[in-house]
Chain A
Amino acid sequence: MTAERADGDRASLDLVDDILRRRGQDLISLAYRVGLSAEDAEDAVQEAFARLCAPINLDHVRDPEAWLFRTVYHLAMDAHRWRRRISSLTSRVQFQAPTVHGVATDVDGLAAVWSTVDELPERQRAIVYLRYRMDFTYDVIATVMGITAGAARSQGSVAMATLQRKLRDVDEA
């Protein structure tokens, strides 16, 4: 016996479908940057959407996008998933700009910056991603991560200071 969703549910499912198309890449990138492998990041996003589709959530979540970012972030922070990423992080080679005359290319600079971001603590990494890639305010970041806006702003400042210090010697043309 099978039953398709009633028409009354179609509006909600259409919303989920729309969010999937618009935010799927952003969500998987968040999970990846926080420390999951590509496969685990995809699983985390799948899980988040599956939870959103549960009737209890679909009918009661006010801001599905924020809810998804928050859910993906917390799934990504799960301890046993995080440990799988640790090995790949520690084995990642420190960025060495393949330079000629000490000058890095644009692509090298992009890789250098994000390689350095990956060395940050996971919370700072998430804040950097949400602040710059998603252009979220610190209030929204606080909602996603379950911290205060002040803590988000503080950790963001610390992260930027670390990036500036580590990337100070990377020259560009």
Chain B
Amino acid sequence: MKPERIEEFLRRAPADEPIFVTPSAAGDRRVSRVKVSGRPAGAIGLAVAGIAVIAVLAAGSWLGGRPGSGGSPGLAGASQDAGYTEYCGGATVTPADIAATPQPLTIDEQAVIATAVRRAPTLLPATSWHRYDGTNGAETFVAAGTPNQVRRFVFINAGQAVDGTFELTSFGDCEPVGRGVGGLKKMSWTLEIDPLDPPTVTTTVLHGYVETSVVETVAGYTVTYGQVVTIAFWTRTLPVASGRIVTLEGVLHQVTVQLAEPLGGRDVYDGVLEHSVATSPPISLGY
């Protein structure tokens, strides 16, 4: 192979590289956080001089204007078809939309879908794609299926490139989540550590991020004190008009947690706590 040919190939992306899933091009300028779930739990050790005596406080101090028992405010009114069904990838649609007869696709649109299917043969063997028009020439194609008896959606996002060509931007699949309007949902969240001002034994305020969809708002958080102190954030679904809403994958909310007592001799874990620590009760962030 000639050197110039090698250089030509070096300027092109091979087929084995992973596709970066970008937010839908909805024109919304709010930041969409790159996926934060799935990050490995890591212990952030605190400088501890002795073990703090943990007073057993009243369980379930709900902050955010809603009284609670400190356990789990129920997820009200959730069902597969109540209000709307949301799926990851961008568009929020109704089940009726998915069941409707799909519109005919243009040659460019068919080419984009074929590209996505070629790169990810594990996508549903969808034969009918529904097109949802976004802003700035962006489109989302959705298909539904029931592989292994589980209902799933696949989506393909596409948009106009700088040179005007219509190109694939991202694709993926997920199970739909039914959520009633006004219903509460417990959300995982991520602790934000300022390297110049990390948590100490006297820290009573923690900062972090909660990522929600654009149809959710952060309703508040609960702090449950016990051997494990658990801080859980809750989001509430906003009422939206039934129909097609092209959204970003996520909206980042900066949050602040006010603890009733200093961190003391606790370890702080980011993620789901999978074990308890007998002598140094940890704070579990998330659920």
Binding site for B on A (CB under 8 A): 1-5, 10, 13-14, 16-17, 20-21, 24-25, 27-29, 32-33, 38, 41-43, 45-46, 49-50, 53-56, 107, 109-114, 117, 128, 132-133, 135, 160, 163-164, 167-168, 170-172
Contact = CB atoms under 8 A, between A and B. Distances in A.
A24 B31 CA distance: 14
Given A42-B18, A172-B1, 9 more contacts: A17-B30, A24-B20, A42-B34, A54-B194, A110-B15, A114-B16, A132-B10, A132-B11, A164-B6
The secondary structure that dominates the B interface is loop
Interface string B29-50: 1111111101100000000000
A38 B30 CA distance: 27
Contacts of B39: 43, 46
B5 interface: yes
Given A1-B63, A1-B256, A10-B29, A32 B9 contact: no
Contacts of A2: 64, 210, 217-218, 220, 253-256
Contacts of A43: 38-39
B168 to A, nearest CB: 11
Interface string B1-29: 10101110111111111111011010001
A56 B64 CA distance: 28
A160 B193 CA distance: 42
Interface of chain A, helix or strand or loop or mixed?
helix
Interface residues of B, number: 50
Nearest to A112: B1
B20 A25 contact: yes
Nearest to A18: B29
A122 B220 CA distance: 46
19 contacts: A1-B255, A1-B256, A13-B30, A14-B29, A16-B31, A21-B23, A25-B22, A29-B18, A32-B17, A42-B34, A46-B39, A53-B31, A54-B194, A56-B194, A107-B15, A109-B5, A113-B14, A117-B10, A164-B6
List the 6 closest A-B pairs by CB distance, nearest first: A38-B18, A132-B10, A2-B218, A113-B9, A114-B14, A25-B20
Nearest to B63: A1
A172 B13 CA distance: 19
A110 B14 contact: yes
A4 B220 CA distance: 13
A84 to B, nearest CB: 13
B196 interface: yes
Nearest to B14: A114
B22 A56 contact: no
A25 B18 CA distance: 8
Given A16-B31, A113-B1, A113-B10, A33 B17 contact: yes
A4 B11 contact: no
A172 B32 CA distance: 44
Interface string B209-243: 01000000110110000000000000000000000
Interface centre among A24, A171, A172 (most CB of B within 10 A): A24
